[in-house]
């Protein structure tokens, strides 16, 4: 079976499993490979979000901590030279923010 015969979902599952295993020894994953993976994951997320997907993580956060999220979001915004205020303004102008019925931290009626 060639690499083109592998379904993207299978490849993503394998990559996710490999990254989870690498948490024990983060130096096993080259920084450049991780950066490329993050950039591609963000682009894929944006395409899927624009198509209607708005729940990227499991309801429990998939094991991502607040610190994990804050570090990643801060670094992404910094890399793109975007200030938090600009993010807030973009959300207000586009209406592109998580609606109350989509939030996992708000009890549903």
- Tens of pLDDT, residue by residue over 21-49, are 999 999 999 999 999 999 999 999 889 88
**105 — alpha (psi -120 to 50), left (phi > 0) or beta?**
alpha
CA 94 – CA 97 distance, rounded (Å): 8
pLDDT greater than 80 at residue 6: no
The domain ranges of the chain are 1-53, 57-104
Using the Cα atoms of residue 71, residue 61, residue 65 and residue 92 in order, give the sign of their dihedral. positive
Confidence of residue 53 (pLDDT cuts 50, 70, 90): confident
């Amino acid at each position: 079976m060639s690499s083109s015969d592998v379904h993207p979902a299978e490849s993503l599952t394998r990559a996710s499993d490999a990254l989870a295993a690498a948490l024990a020894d983060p130096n096993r994953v080259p920084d450049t490979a991780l950066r490329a993976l993050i950039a591609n994951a963000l682009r894929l997320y944006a395409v899927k979000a624009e198509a209607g997907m708005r729940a990227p993580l499991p309801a429990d956060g998939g094991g991502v901590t607040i610190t994990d999220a804050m570090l990643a979001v801060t670094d992404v915004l910094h890399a793109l030279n975007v200030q938090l205020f600009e993010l807030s303004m973009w959300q207000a102008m586009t209406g592109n923010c998580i609606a109350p019925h989509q939030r996992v931290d708000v009890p549903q009626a």
